[in-house]
Amino acid sequence: MSKDYRETHLGKHRLHDETLMLGYGYDPALSEGSVKQPVFLTSTFCFPNAEAGREFFDVVSGRSKTARNDADGGLVYSRFNHPNAQIVEERLAVFEKAEAGAVFSSGMAAISTAVLAHCAPGDVILFSQPLYGGTDSLFRKVLSRFGVSVMPLKDATDAAAMRADADAARAKGRVAMIFLETPSNPLASLADIGLAADIAKEIGAAQGHRPLVAVDNTLLGPVFQSAVANGADLSLYSLTKYVGGHSDLVAGAALGARAVVTPIRMLRALLGGNLDPNSCWMLARSLETVALRMGKAAENAVKIADFLAAHPKVKAVHFPTLAKPGGAQARIFARQCTGAGSLMSFDVGDRVSAFRVLDRLKIVKLAVSLGGTESLVCHPATTVHSGVAEAERLAIGVTEGLIRLSVGIEHVDDLLEDFRQALA
């Protein structure tokens, strides 16, 4: 790919991310002048000569490095790399303000590979609560079989509480990672990324190894929150959600410093979790409109959150703009985020009431997942968080009356009317 198509500036003017998403990393001259990149449906790539083949294979297998990118010395085999993946990885890294990226066949593949690449038997992971159900199950039910312990943070917004948890974790082993999901799924609560980075530095001074700060940035990134710019070492995504944005693909990503991402990329090649060319092409398409889609959905979400908060049948609404003024959540939101996104949850008291509302909605669709152009609702306790033990669900606020809502880009008046009649 031509170096000209990796330019981020016009003279001293820094191009905006929305502009870069339409061309960064792709040279039309290498694809017969096609304005959009083609889908490279091939399993393997021809080497220009035998020496180049040796060099490409040494780079992609991690035995040597190139000056520009130690994981991109040349195209070899689509389990390792391919042009469609490289374009998406480079554009995501630009948007997230990261050095490097790696795309995966799902968000859980990205999280699992990142954890396995940087954690060893005897290590401990500190994590915020609540977590997406799949991540929670990975941490609590799977990692122990590989000798990795996990420990929940009591409060990922309070320095004293995090230091106490860090001390307790160090007593169990080497703290290898602090994992945050912010905002959380489904309660949209915020964790303090900058504070976690400070705590990681303190842990590193005490144990001789600084733990990585990994952030699931699915709900606000890359438009409303850069986890890397706020101090994270790794920004992890389910690209299925807002980046893909059309409920038509499943994908994930890990972004961060090249030194942190490269071991993840190397392990991805061994485990076989690279994303296929067609899904990568679709992601490149979606990145062109991600700011527009997320902006419109966020505008709708603020109005719907205000409506639900004022409704007599709604017991509570969880959304960043409704945080108590002066509280930790409001302070973190003001410092860490440029928008609230469009994921919220609201409580109608009990399961019977929740099911009644879910079944009465006409425009909003009843389905799991989130971040698409359409509005979606689900009942977390019996779907995405059903694998979490009941006591733990209740402790983190996932009650029987809780409904998760992902607001889409429909006309907001129509959505408001749908919730009026469903709650009537």
* Domain 292-423 = CATH 3.90.1150.10: yes
| Alpha-carbon gap, residue 160 to 264, rounded angstroms | 32
Give the residue-averaged pLDDT of 91-114.
97
Instruction: Look at the block and give the residue holding tokens 């009591």.
Output: 154
User: Could you tell me the pLDDT band of residue 1, with boundaries at 50, 70 and 90?
Assistant: very low
Give the residue-averaged pLDDT of 126-146.
95
| 3-state secondary structure at position 405 | strand
Contact assessment for residue 368 and residue 403, using Cβ atoms and an 8 Å cutoff: no
* Residue 285 clears pLDDT 60, i.e. is over it: yes
Other beta carbons less than 10 A from residue 48's beta carbon: 9
Q: Which helix (H) or strand (E) holds 248?
A: none
User: Could you tell me the pLDDT band of residue 394, with boundaries at 50, 70 and 90?
Assistant: very high
Task: Specify the pLDDT at position 72.
Answer: 56
Task: Specify the pLDDT at position 69.
Answer: 47
**Residue-wise pLDDT tens digits, 131-140:** 999 999 999 9
* Residue 388 clears pLDDT 90, i.e. is over it: no
Q: Which helix (H) or strand (E) holds 15?
A: none
**Residue-wise pLDDT tens digits, 205-246:** 999 999 999 999 999 999 999 999 999 999 999 999 999 999
Instruction: Look at the block and give the residue holding tokens 């940087």.
Output: 118
Task: Specify the pLDDT at position 222.
Answer: 97
Other beta carbons less than 10 A from residue 322's beta carbon: 18
Contact assessment for residue 172 and residue 151, using Cβ atoms and an 8 Å cutoff: yes
**Residue-wise pLDDT tens digits, 53-80:** 998 888 887 777 764 444 457 899 999 9
Q: What letter represents residue 164's amino acid?
A: A
Paired with 216 in beta bridges are 181, 236
Give 28-35 contacts, CB < 8 A, sequence gap 24+: 29/2, 30/1, 30/2
Give the residue-averaged pLDDT of 358-382.
97
Question: 0.75 cut: is pTM over it?
Answer: yes
